[in-house]
Amino acid sequence: MGERGTSSPGGPVRVGSPHGQTLRSRLRVRKSCGFSERLILFLYLLECAPQTDGNASLPGIIGENYGKEYYQALLQEQEEHYQTRATSLKRQIAQLKQELQEMSEKMRSLQERKNVGANGISYQGNKEQAPSDLLEFLHSQIDKAEVSIGAKLPSEYGVIPFESFTLMKVFQLEMGLTRHPEEKPVRKDKRDELVEVIEAGLEVINNPDEDDEQEDEDGPLGEKLIFNENDFIEGYYRTEKDKGTQYELFFKKADLMEYRHVTLFRPFGPLMKVKSEMIDITRSIINIIVPLAERTEAFAQFMQNFRDVCIHQDKRIHLTVVYFGKEGLSKVKSILESVASESNFHNYTLVSLNEEFNRGRGLNVGARAWDKGEVLMFFCDVDIYFSAEFLNSCRLNAEPGKKVFYPVVFSLYNPAIVYANLDVPPPVEQQLVHKKDSGFWRDFGFGMTCQYQSDFLTIGGFDMEVKGWGGEDVHLYRKYLHSDLIVIRTPVPGLFHLWHEKRCADELTPEQYRMCIQSKAMNEASHSHLGMLVFREEIETHLHKQAYRTNSEAVG
């Protein structure tokens, strides 16, 4: 809708109004008792007061020295203001009626389609999910949310926390590894959301309804007090996934003591079917491309997982290994030949490049080495452990010309630290757990990705100007973000990055070296385990004292 002050099903709804209130009553012109009383007094003075000269004060107004012309001008100004406001509201009411009618028609049409079903497939929601009266449903979402009355929660972990924000910053609890405790909203949808919410709050304050609990305030010259975005102090928001987002906004004029508090709620509408389709992945081959240099032991471990998952379970895989250099090449060939003979597997390609390792270069070469038509590619590293379920997720979330898949990998910490209480760390298969002290979601990494060869070639592949550690995968990721393709970004349970010693080469640029060191630190251990290492001496001293005290008591 084109004007502020309107309320659409997808926009914020003002909280505190009676349930089921109609649009006309929500938007009618406010009849101000205070203004009516002043208007009657002014009319009486103008008609009944004795004639005075232009500078004489009117009786009954003590301490004021304004003449008749002043009050006539004031009346005229007030009348024009309310006429303008009434005209605006009438126009908004008409627009809302039209949009409500269109929305109701759409809802009826959708309901009819649901009842008939599309190709025998339909979504049958209950009456609560698809009510005939959309506004009634939206208000019911407010009633069900924890806005006016608190909810009884089983424990402290059931609380949905708010995040706070000002005009320029957002302060957030759920940070991950790429977000900060305090930051400017980077995503456009979040910036637009907060701007819209503040504007809606100003509309509520500056043009209140009769049911709003706030009194008229006048400026120093008797004019109406208007709030703007500079009067916004702070706000809080939180989202109940099945109901909507609640906003608490606070405004204050610099020269006033009182705060203005506005509560808004953006209710989620009923579920609507977008599409329902069958996806056949039984014949979808994945070309797993692995760039490699030396690290033959890690490759042997990789091939063990490859044999179990790809050869014995999935059976729809081609492996492309791009090897850099001469050292270790014969060992890699031996490992591949051994797996081929043991499992009767011959769907692999080994490309040898006698040059310095460059991951982007290796993936570019590996992608172009396939010449059998369209194929789905999985860019993989030798330290990655994946499951058969992940391979199916790869197939389901990539579509040529439409979607590319960028899963978030769960990166395991140094097992020597995680399992320091054991004589030796457990086998790799037993380390694959999603726990805070065992690893973290590598949400700053974009190297593991599933995409079709045609999309990769169309987008231009990797940037060959990027040398050394990191950066090339981020460039490719940004290319897709700037394209018309949908980027599916989500953590997946069947994809792990195994810990390995990381070396940051001296040849790296200062920026690349900083990134490498940061990655190395994050890969080592959890916050609590690193803390135990930092305070190791203090802990050992404490244990010695405890042991000495125990021995002394035993002797005594």
- Which residue is listed with tokens 């059998």? 372
| Spans of the chain below 50 pLDDT | 1-10, 16-36, 49-64, 116-131
Report CA-CA distances (Å) from 89 to 6, 23, 84, 349, 398: 9, 11, 9, 71, 48
Is 551 exposed, middle or buried, given 0-12, 13-18 or 19+ CB atoms closer than 10 A? exposed
Residue 236 has phi, psi (to 5 degrees) of: -135, 145
Contacts of 248 (CB under 8 A, 6+ apart): 162, 235, 236, 237, 261, 262, 263
Task: Say what the pLDDT of residue 371 is.
Answer: 95
Contacts of 258 (CB under 8 A, 6+ apart): 252
Task: Say what the pLDDT of residue 126 is.
Answer: 42
Task: Say what the pLDDT of residue 214 is.
Answer: 58
From CA 7, how far away is CA 9, in angstroms rounded? Answer: 7
Task: Say what the pLDDT of residue 105 is.
Answer: 73
**Helices 68-116 + 134-144 axis angle, to 10:** 100
* Token pair recorded at residue 490: 């989500």
Contacts of 280 (CB under 8 A, 6+ apart): none
Q: Is 402 left (phi over 0), alpha (psi -120 to 50) or beta?
A: alpha
From CA 344, how far away is CA 360, in angstroms rounded? Answer: 31
Task: Say what the pLDDT of residue 158 is.
Answer: 73
**Helices 359-369 + 472-481 axis angle, to 10:** 60
Task: Say what the pLDDT of residue 10 is.
Answer: 47
Rg over CA atoms, the chain: 34
End-to-end Cα separation, the chain, in angstroms:
85
CA torsion, points 185, 191, 195, 198, in degrees to nearest 10?
Answer: -50
